[in-house]
Chains A and B, each alone.
Chain A
């Protein structure tokens, strides 16, 4: 039992980086960006191929980050410069990345068995392998949260937040909303690819299919985090995303333990997200808002 929770926490921490990336596009920019399905696999593919060729795993992970940022840049340019709707821009990049990921991997999946990964360094420091993942996951999530807390407090960061909120007002304040959307997507997909690289090294293989459904997992984690852990200020909100990602993994671990077939997981996740997103409507239906019409002041 303890092992299951420990496994869920370590996996949740690695997915938390991805969840934060999804939060940037979905909540801050107000764009449902499907690029992430491709960029998570891209991050995994780049890291696996680089490590298989003998690159330092940390360097390989950084290259993955840059790869994901490039994917975000492509989606951003398609959306802002070529005026393709955001959803479609993301789908186009995602599909293109499927071929690119196959090219990077050279085949459908690439194993990292018995190769040095970012985790083995921690194992050499004396951590047991499951703890190495937790320590490194915790470290990555903390760095990402601190960086974003700082970044979204800067002038550019404020401008990006405002762009997702009210682009008309932002242009009236002399800000190029296109640039802000591009920067947001670049950071978002960079984080998603970073997460992909960490996940691939954890599971010791990269698979071209591993991105399928990841956007829904990301959204589920975002929503769980917001619902369960509140969102008072920005720092706590970022932390709640990590908590959401971990909670999601714990829930999944339990339903699997209760006997759900792992093939049904994506169906389960999709239904959970659909219900969570429709909560406001369901609430209104069950409990219609009282409207009182009164004359006078």
Chain B
């Protein structure tokens, strides 16, 4: 479903801030894979996700989604195949627009937009059903400006928007990092539910080891722009935080020293 080959990405080339964010990264994801991507600060996990989404161009290597080479496609053209949820709950929705307008924008992802009405009555009923399914009491707030909702609610809406029009690949960029633990838990279980119900292929960046172990069928760890661990299947199910730390030490030759990951 996703094929990344020999990806290199450098930021600020030729300046004192030059940084190689990705070094020869290759990943092959099968349909139905749910990958959790973990690593410390500056490991390159968000960069990788943004390269796949087309936010950044790449310096070398290719990316293909569902058999289509998208390496050179601009962000808005790749969006047809991708559902995306961001770390910042403000980023996934238009805050000055009402809830149903946001959903209507997402329903039309990947389709040409013309001079038909932006929302139809038939859609409204679908939205109401989908929202009541989420059980957040949002079904009666279709006419509320999204900016008036809480971060957790907005992240739940973004998640719904990312999956409303079944994407080939769902990209989750630390989408619970800005939420309080209880809300984060809730959004994560919603994520699992939506991925399972729609049988989606997904990649979730997280800094939380327990979440990375608990969710998905495959765990990839990055360090210094490289993939250093790729654990799947039965082996993934048996993982513990301790065993990952041990394997990290062996693979990278360093001690894992990233407080945010260890403490959470």
Contact = CB atoms under 8 A, between A and B. Distances in A.
Interface of A: 151, 153-159, 161-162, 165-166, 168-177
Given A162-B94, A166-B94, A171 B114 contact: no
B114 A172 contact: no
A161 B80 contact: no
A169 B110 contact: no
A5 to B, nearest CB: 35
Contact of A173 (B108, B114, B118): B108
Contacts of A170: 76, 94, 105
Contacts of B96: 161, 165
A162 B76 contact: no
B45 interface: no
A107 B93 CA distance: 51
Contacts of A177: 76
B188 to A, nearest CB: 20
Contact of A158 (B53, B90, B105): B105
Given A162-B94, A165-B97, A166-B93, A155 B80 contact: no
B109 A169 contact: no
A172 B90 CA distance: 14
Given A156-B113, A173-B109, A174-B77, 15 more contacts: A151-B115, A153-B117, A153-B118, A155-B114, A158-B105, A162-B97, A165-B96, A166-B90, A166-B91, A168-B86, A169-B93, A172-B84, A172-B92, A174-B109, A176-B76
A29 B84 CA distance: 23
Interface of B: 53, 74-77, 79-80, 82, 84, 86, 90-97, 101-102, 104-106, 108-111, 113-119, 161
B115 A169 contact: no
A254 B147 CA distance: 40
Nearest to B79: A174
B76 A155 contact: no
B114 A156 contact: yes
B118 A165 contact: no
Contacts of B86: 168
B114 A169 contact: no
A171 B75 contact: yes
B107 to A, nearest CB: 9
B118 A155 contact: yes
Nearest to A27: B96
B225 to A, nearest CB: 24
Most buried by A among B94, B106, B111, B115: B94
25 contacts: A153-B118, A154-B114, A154-B115, A154-B116, A155-B113, A155-B116, A156-B114, A158-B101, A158-B104, A158-B105, A159-B113, A161-B101, A162-B94, A165-B94, A165-B97, A166-B93, A168-B86, A169-B92, A169-B94, A173-B79, A173-B105, A173-B161, A174-B111, A175-B79, A175-B113
Contacts of A161: 94, 96-97, 101
A174 B167 CA distance: 12
A161 B145 CA distance: 13
A153 B113 CA distance: 12
Contacts of A154: 114-118
A161 B101 CA distance: 10
A162 B96 CA distance: 8
Contacts of A174: 76-77, 79-80, 108-111
B93 A171 contact: no
Nearest to A155: B113
B77 A168 contact: no
Contacts of A159: 105, 113
A23 B116 CA distance: 23
A176 B74 CA distance: 9
B113 A162 contact: no
A155 B108 contact: yes
A161 B114 CA distance: 14
A158 B96 CA distance: 12
A166 B76 contact: no
A83 to B, nearest CB: 14
A173 to B, nearest CB: 5
B44 to A, nearest CB: 21
A56 to B, nearest CB: 29
B192 to A, nearest CB: 22
Given A173-B109, A174-B80, A176-B76, A155 B115 contact: yes
A172 B76 CA distance: 6
Contacts of A166: 90-91, 93-95
Contacts of A169: 91-94, 105
A176 B76 CA distance: 6
Most buried by A among B53, B77, B93, B105: B105
Closest 6 CB pairs of A and B: A174-B79, A158-B118, A155-B113, A165-B94, A162-B94, A166-B94
B259 to A, nearest CB: 24
A199 to B, nearest CB: 30
B147 to A, nearest CB: 9
B142 to A, nearest CB: 15
Contacts of B91: 166, 168-169
